[in-house]
Structure 1
Amino acid sequence: MNCYLKIISPNKAKNDIDELMERDGFRNLSVHIGSKGKVSVFFSKLFSVIRLPFVLHKDDVLLIQYPFKKYYTALCRIAHMKNASTVTLIHDLGTFRRHKLTADQEIERLSHTDSIIVHNGAMKDWLKEHGCKVRMCELGIFDYLSSSSPLHRHFGHNPRRIVYAGALGLRKNAFLYDLDKCLDGCVLDIFGRGLDENIASKWHNIHYHGYLESDKFIETVDGDWGLVWDGDSIDACSGNWGEYLRINNPHKTSFYICAGLPVIIWNQSAMSKFIVENKLGICVSSLSELSEALNHVSKEEYDEICASVEAFRKKLVDGYFFREAFADACSCMAKRN
């Protein structure tokens, strides 16, 4: 039987996977303790691991959402001790995200699982290059569960409206503070927390709208494009956060698509090929190219992109990509056996 451990988390992507597994009849093997506080979550994880040998059965498949921090290796070992299998779905790699692990440590940890669901081909290649020999399959894009419906998009806004949602502080997204001068014929509507409003007060083409809950954003945001960009520079996604886009599928991409927004993304990002091949948006090498790139998008092209975005939105809110990737992972294990 398919199984999982439901651990309370503020992470939307992890919670969506939990909900999809619950919908699909996976058996939840976790122990729930008290509230959502850190202490309760710690003991919930600990007691879930201690209890696992008594509730996991032979031939079960345990899906582990990674990182699971200090208990990950223990989960894999317990599963194998019970003649069960593990599928690991990667959300973040510690080597990149918080630099808590070296590449060798990450690979050693992941070597304990039977199959891995990676974000994309670039992440698979990075893991292989660093010695990972576990069978891997690709997610493609994160699903995004929501019952909210977006506004209809139409071509012809003047100026064109670009939307950016996320962390607005200098530490993660210093590029925002140099972007105003590049927005010729465009405006950028930004949503989130952490903005330095003293600097922002001098902007002419960037408008701050505060923080919106995700469902409210999906229902009300009025724009033509959603911008996926991180890092220090308008010329490339640089710095630790920006470089991570070379192998990572940012959840923000799914968020924009769920809101009906075509995507603008860095052409060196791991998701750029997926976006272009599926006609979900456009790629640029630098944000200084924004105006020129958008000028080259005709009404027919924009309408085609919007139609593709709507088709993908329906898949994302239904959990299509997780289900496909999990089925692939199980198939890989069956072939190996």
Structure 2
Amino acid sequence: MTNYVLTSDIYKGYKHAGPKAKADINMFLKQAGWKILDLDLPIKRFPKLMYRIFKLPHLFKGKNAENIVFQYPMYTVFLTKSIIKEVRRQTNAKLIFVVHDYESIRKYKGDQTFFKNEVKIFNAVDCLIVHSEAMKKKLRAAGVARKMVVLGVFDYYNP
């Protein structure tokens, strides 16, 4: 059985620290023998729908996955939910989210619809890996019932 990391970087080519955390996780897990699935997710609505219809159904086909780490957020709720459905439909893998940002308290603060969707997303996976005890407490208070592991570090790789 194989372990996979799902990652997507909407900031490819930009010269800033935005993608550093995801790149660090990829580096560490790749060194541990995990396979990286770098998803080139579209941003616009119609291409997202086409991705959902034509690419996602084949993403896990024939892959004997034991664990799948999903680097959250991927900045598209529609495709995040679709990826969860495909993982559940096509594999028996444990789905683990590494939560880099809790969007409900950052980008979508005060948006109750987004907040409820995000809690549903988190409760649809097997385990969450979070940065801090404070993040874990906020997620618990929001209604996230899944197992959570506190990573306890923020800057993963600093040579």
TM-score range, shorter chain: 0.7 to 0.9
Pair 1:110 & 2:110 matched = no
Q: 1:127 aligns with which of 113, 127, 139?
A: 139
- Whether contact under 8 Å (1:56, 1:84) holds in the other structure is no
- Higher relative CO (Cα under 8 Å, sequence separation at least 6) belongs to 2
Q: 1:25 to 1:95 in 2, by over 3 A?
A: same
The Cα shift of 1:29 comes to 3.2
Q: 1:25 aligns with which of 16, 33, 36?
A: 33
Pair 1:139 & 2:151 matched = yes
Distance in structure 2 (CA, Å) of the matches to 1:129 and 1:31: 31
- Whether contact under 8 Å (2:26, 2:36) holds in the other structure is no
Partner AA of 1:106 in structure 2 = E
- Whether contact under 8 Å (2:72, 2:98) holds in the other structure is yes
Q: Which residue of 2 aligns with 1:86?
A: 95
Q: 1:48 to 1:6 in 2, by over 3 A?
A: farther
Distance in structure 2 (CA, Å) of the matches to 1:3 and 1:14: 14
- Whether contact under 8 Å (1:86, 1:115) holds in the other structure is yes
- Whether contact under 8 Å (2:87, 2:93) holds in the other structure is yes
Pair 1:99 & 2:111 matched = no
Q: Which residue of 2 aligns with 1:2?
A: 3
Structure 1 runs not aligned, ≥5 long: 148-337
Partner AA of 2:4 in structure 1 = C
Structure 2 runs not aligned, ≥5 long: 12-18
Partner AA of 1:92 in structure 2 = D
User: How many residues in Structure 1 have an aligned counterpart in Structure 2?
Assistant: 139
Pair 1:71 & 2:79 matched = yes
Q: 1:24 to 1:123 in 2, by over 3 A?
A: same
Deviations 1:232-286 (A, max 9, x none): xxxxxxxxxxxxxxxxxxxxxxxxxxxxxxxxxxxxxxxxxxxxxxxxxxxxxxx
Deviations 1:191-217 (A, max 9, x none): xxxxxxxxxxxxxxxxxxxxxxxxxxx
Q: Which residue of 2 aligns with 1:62?
A: 68
The Cα shift of 1:5 comes to 2.4
Partner AA of 1:53 in structure 2 = F
- Whether contact under 8 Å (2:97, 2:128) holds in the other structure is yes
Please give the secondary structure, in 2, of the residue aligned with 1:5.
strand
TM-score using structure 2 length = 0.73
Partner AA of 2:70 in structure 1 = I
Distance in structure 2 (CA, Å) of the matches to 1:118 and 1:30: 21
Q: Which residue of 2 aligns with 1:180?
A: none
The Cα shift of 1:120 comes to 1.2
Deviations 1:100-159 (A, max 9, x none): 753322111211111001111111111111211111010111243344xxxxxxxxxxxx
Distance in structure 1 (CA, Å) of the matches to 2:85 and 2:43: 25
Instruction: Point out the structure with max Rg over C-alpha.
Output: 1
Please give the secondary structure, in 2, of the residue aligned with 1:142.
coil
Distance in structure 2 (CA, Å) of the matches to 1:56 and 1:29: 12
Partner AA of 1:142 in structure 2 = F
Q: 2:56 aligns with which of 49, 57, 60?
A: 49
Q: 1:12 aligns with which of 6, 14, 20?
A: 20
Q: CA RMSD in A?
A: 2.7
Distance in structure 2 (CA, Å) of the matches to 1:12 and 1:49: 25
TM-score using structure 1 length = 0.37
Partner AA of 1:4 in structure 2 = V
Deviations 1:77-116 (A, max 9, x none): 2222221110001011111221175332211121111100
